[in-house]
C-alpha cells in the first residue's frame, strides 16, 4: 500500500479517491496536532489506520517535528506503540 505524503497529511488514494488519510496540521513551531484519522469502510479491519500512524510517526521523526495527538485513535495508537512515543510533545 503506497501512501502519499503531503505537508500536513498522509493519504491513500485509489482511482483518484481518498480511501484513507491522517491529518496533522501545524500547531506551534515544529509541533503538529494529529487531529483526524479516516479509513474508508472498504479498508477497515486491515490495519490501514495503524499503517497511517506508523508512516506519520516516521515522517515526523524524519522532519524533526513533534506531535500532540487529539485524535482518539492516535492517542490509543501511541499508548500501544512505545517505540514511537519520542515523537510526542
CB distance 1 to 51 below 8 Å: yes
CB distance 48 to 14 below 8 Å: no
Query: Which strand ranges, in their side-by-side order, compose the sheet holding 31-34?
Result: 26-28, 31-34, 66-69
- CA distances 75 to 34, 48, 52, Å, are 9, 16, 13
Q: Which fold has domain 4-87?
A: Aminopeptidase (3.40.630)
Cell of 37: 484519522
Q: What is the pLDDT of residues 2-23, one digit of tens each?
A: 899 998 999 999 988 999 999 9
* pTM of the predicted structure, to 2 decimals: 0.92
Q: What is the pLDDT of residues 20-78, one digit of tens each?
A: 999 999 999 999 999 999 999 999 999 999 999 999 999 999 999 999 999 999 999 99
Amino acid at each position: 500500500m503506497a501512501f502519499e505524503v503531503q505537508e500536513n497529511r498522509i493519504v491513500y488514494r485509489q482511482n483518484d479517491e481518498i480511501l484513507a488519510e491522517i491529518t496533522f496540521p501545524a500547531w506551534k513551531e515544529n509541533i503538529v496536532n494529529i487531529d483526524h484519522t479516516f479509513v474508508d469502510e472498504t479498508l477497515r479491519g486491515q490495519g490501514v489506520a495503524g499503517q497511517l500512524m506508523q508512516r506519520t510517526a516516521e515522517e515526523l521523526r524524519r522532519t524533526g517535528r513533534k506531535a500532540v495527538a487529539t485524535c482518539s485513535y492516535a492517542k490509543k495508537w501511541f499508548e500501544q506503540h512505545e517505540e514511537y512515543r519520542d515523537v510526542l510533545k
